[in-house]
Amino acid sequence: MQGRSELAPLALGTHSLQDSLMLLNHASAAIKDKYLADLVAANIYPSFAMTEPGIVSSDPTGIQTSAALEADGKTWCIRGRKWWTTNAKNSAFTRRVRLAR
């Protein structure tokens, strides 16, 4: 039921768990240093982008966006479009990016 309220994830302390685990397990040391401790301490807020236009609901099996590590081993190329990013305006690490089609 927490999804029915904009404040529920914050009030229940569940707003950063998934992001914290993703950063812990997959982020570079620099990104972890910049965001992880503050995210876990609730000093900053995450965002979540899953919904895509043309896909029914937010079922992750229908996601069409892809990410591929470039040959330099440092740069990720993300191809896709997100329809809605939850908490984007308050997030410490969400930015709008326009990709070439």
pLDDT above 80: residue 93: no
What pLDDT is stored for residue 67 in this prediction? 84
Residue 34: is it exposed, middle or buried by C-beta count within 10 angstroms (0-12/13-18/19+)? Answer: middle
What pLDDT is stored for residue 95 in this prediction? 60
Look at residue 95 and tell me if it is in a domain. Answer: no
Paired with 45 in beta bridges are 91
Is there a contact between 43 and 87 (Cβ–Cβ < 8 Å)?
A: no
Among the listed residues 2, 25, 10, the one whose alpha carbon sits nearest the alpha carbon of residue 87: 10
Instruction: Say what percent of the chain tops pLDDT 70.
Output: 75
pLDDT above 80: residue 38: yes
What pLDDT is stored for residue 71 in this prediction? 92
Look at residue 98 and tell me if it is in a domain. Answer: no
Total number of domains constituting the chain: 1
Does the predicted model carry a pTM greater than 0.75? no
Could you tell me the pLDDT band of residue 57, with boundaries at 50, 70 and 90? low
Which residue range(s) make up the domain with 64?
Answer: 2-86
Look at residue 46 and tell me if it is in a domain. Answer: yes
